[in-house]
Amino acid sequence: MPEPAWVPALVCLADSGNDWTVYLDVVYLMFKKDFVETTPVFEGQRLRLKRHPMKDGREATFWHLVSEGDDERSRVPDEMRCERIRWPKPVIEKVPCTELKRWESKRGSETRVVIAFDDYSYVVVLAKRSGYFLPWTAYPVERKHRRAKLRKEWEEYQRKNTGAAT
């Protein structure tokens, strides 16, 4: 399934001369425009940023959106995440939308809000806090089994909260 028409164009590494330093600067400027210079709102509550640990003068939220890895200090930039840096804000602001699924999930003691394309090919995750949300991560979902797991999570949430999965 192709992405929705309202999703911005990809930001490609090739457009930065295949130079990762230049590319990360460009990607950061787009992140900054969407999340630092403006304050997006989700379900009536402001989005804030996880600023620390700062790395190369950039907020932790930025690194969670454009890189992968379990350890904060050794996350590795991911080209597919970087390409989609302009997607999280419109996805967040588009909820509710028939092209998106939205559900809550427990991660340890925290509640996370998961927003996924209808086919589960792209996901934005927000950490729910008292009175605000933190953009936590966003990524394309390439593996079928991961998409199936997300679908199952959404269906279980629907059953618990509405009595049926749709």
- Tens of pLDDT along 108-150? 889 999 999 999 999 999 999 999 999 999 999 999 999 999 9
Within-domain flag for 4: no
Which of the four pLDDT bands, split at 50, 70 and 90, describes residue 69? confident
Residue 124 lies in a domain: yes
At 165, is the pLDDT very low, low, confident or very high (cuts 50, 70, 90)? low
The reply to whether 2 falls in a domain is: no
What confidence tier does 56 reach under pLDDT thresholds 50, 70, 90? Answer: confident
Question: Is the omega angle on the peptide bond into residue 2 within 30 degrees of 0, that is, cis?
Answer: no
In a domain, 69, yes or no: yes
Element (H, E) at 101: strand 100-107
Inside any domain, residue 49: yes
Is 141 within a domain?
A: yes
Structural domain includes residue 65: yes
Q: Tell me how far apart the alpha carbons of residues 54 and 89 are, in angstroms, rounded to a whole number.
A: 21
CA distances from 119 to 92, 99, 101, 136 (A): 17, 9, 9, 21
The range of the structural domain enclosing residue 144 comes to 13-162
pLDDT given at position 52: 82
CA distance 79 to 142: 13
Q: Is the pLDDT of residue 43 over 70?
A: yes
Domain count, the chain: 1
pLDDT of residue 126: 97
User: 18 Cβ partners below 8 Å, 6+ apart?
Assistant: none
Of 89-103, 128-142, 151-165, give the lowest mean pLDDT range. 151-165
At residue 163, the pLDDT reads 65
The rounded mean pLDDT for the chain is 92
Confidence label for 71 from pLDDT (cuts 50, 70 and 90): confident
Residue at 1 is within a domain = no
* Alpha carbon 90 to chain centroid, angstroms: 10
Residue 24: pLDDT above 90? yes
